[in-house]
Structure 1
């Protein structure tokens, strides 16, 4: 079973968090950034996460794959403290962020999350969407926040759209703005939840190019994706989730081309039949 690589969309702009953000494209995994142990989450009595374990090192890109309902999005939402766990622990840089009494807003200042839908405020310009959290949450001055926002927008080719409103942008542009908004806070960890699933096929490439550039800059990322070729290209580790557990994990070449678990092989066979791998 040999997945086809995603076609390269081009080198793209430099979109990482800046010159001081990391050691660059040749950096290997660093210290542990995220540790999830025994995560359990239920909705209405249905188990969605069932004792899930996950570890992510600095500068590492981890791709979560699996069928719809396998727990990928729920895992990301739990890490960002948007869902309350029923059991288990989550640590960020060695600090347990799932402990009782933790202020979720302080935790989210260190985590950026981009959703399937762009979630931009339609009544705010692109610039105001990007600067809202830095100004209101991080208490940065408007001038400082706007300087940072314009720098990031310029690096992704959207400088001319700073004063535009979301309904004047294509889907790909809106998703790139959503990623820029997450980067504006210089997050320690970036979570990406099926960020291309709502896009027309011709717009997917520009978003994937942006994620490639983030990897090259050393951004630590966990991404849930159905783009198997892209996962193979960009991820350092691929985790196959099924029924709320990590059934198999390892380097992309091993998991996607030579899976050891029958359930992983079954899932990938269906992907190949659908011409998505």
Structure 2
């Protein structure tokens, strides 16, 4: 398939009287990374939740591989099986081991046998440096290891699209690097990703497309070089100046 993996057209979303997304257009090509940047409250997380149908949009349409997933006749559960999501909170089941957390969805939702799910899960854990932790419980892991496990769990279902929502926000600074290394590895495997992040240097490094959101509008989009070095909008430039002054770019 040569078209975009994800396409949003004129998407609007409000909570009560507060408009969170205003006529958002977005295209994500296969095997690319799109970074969503902007201040807290700009609509980044809501955009991701709409893409996964966790939030119902008020207007517009969303397509996944050319299929309109916001059509009322679409099977939302079937759509979500094709999209992996990792949130700020790890959301691991505390009573399950790392391997059990990783293999739960492949077995229960995708119908893999225990042997198939465990073989795939162990291969991913080994690849991302967690093989030795397979039989540990989440409370025995560092925050970085828990977040890496959450990424492995999302990858274990072989998603068409991976959505990452501020996945380093809850981590101590010294643990951020190990999680970002995993995202680099996943990009190297060709995964299509959309990530909302406050890690500007990382967004500049890893993204093929950067979108700056302000007040629910995609105010600016382009290559990392275009957005970070030659932003067209004063609001984008002002945001980036603050990031530079804070030593985060």
Superposition TM-score, scaled by structure 1 size = 0.88
Tell me the residue number matched to 1:4: none
Q: Structure 1 CA distance, aligned partners of 2:6 and 2:233?
A: 25
- Partner in structure 2 of residue 17 of structure 1: none
1:82 has 2:54 as partner:
yes
Would you say 1:249 and 2:221 are equivalent positions?
A: yes
Aligned-partner SS, 1:164: coil
Following the alignment from structure 2 to structure 1, what is the Cα–Cα distance between the partners of residues 212 and 129? 34
TM-score w.r.t. structure 2 length? 0.98
Q: How does 1:1-277 map to 2 (within 5 A)?
A: 31-277=3-249
| Residues in 1 aligned to 2:35 and 2:10: alpha-carbon distance in whole angstroms | 19
Q: Deviations over 1:58-96 (max 9, x none)?
A: 011000000000000000000011001001100000000
CA offset digits 1:90-113 (Å, max 9, x no partner): 000000001102221100111000
Distance in 2 between residues matched to 1:187 and 1:171, nearest whole Å: 24
Instruction: Give the 3-state SS of the residue equivalent to 1:63 in structure 2.
Output: strand
Structure with the larger RCO, 1 or 2 (CA within 8 Å, 6+ apart)? 1
Q: Deviations over 1:97-145 (max 9, x none)?
A: 0110222110011100000111111111111100111111011111110
Unpaired stretches in structure 2, ≥5 consecutive residues: none
**What's the secondary structure of 1:223's corresponding residue?**
strand
Render the CA deviation track for 1:25-55: whole Å, top value 9, x for unaligned: xxxx953111000111011210000111100
Offset, 1:152: 0.4
Answer whether contact 1:30 1:59 (CA < 8 A) is retained: no
Off by >4 Å, runs of 4+ in structure 1: none
Q: Residues of 2 paired with 1:32 and 1:245: CA distance? A: 20
Partner secondary structure for residue 32 of structure 1 = coil
Aligned length in residues? 249
Give the SS at the match of 1:53.
strand
Q: Does the Cα contact within 8 Å between 1:119 and 1:178 map onto a contact in 2?
A: yes
Question: Per the alignment, in what secondary structure is the counterpart of residue 20 of structure 2?
Answer: strand
Report the RMSD for the aligned CA atoms in angstroms. Answer: 1.1
Unmatched 5+ stretches in structure 1? 1-28
CA distance, structure 2, for counterparts of residue 258 and residue 93 of structure 1:
32
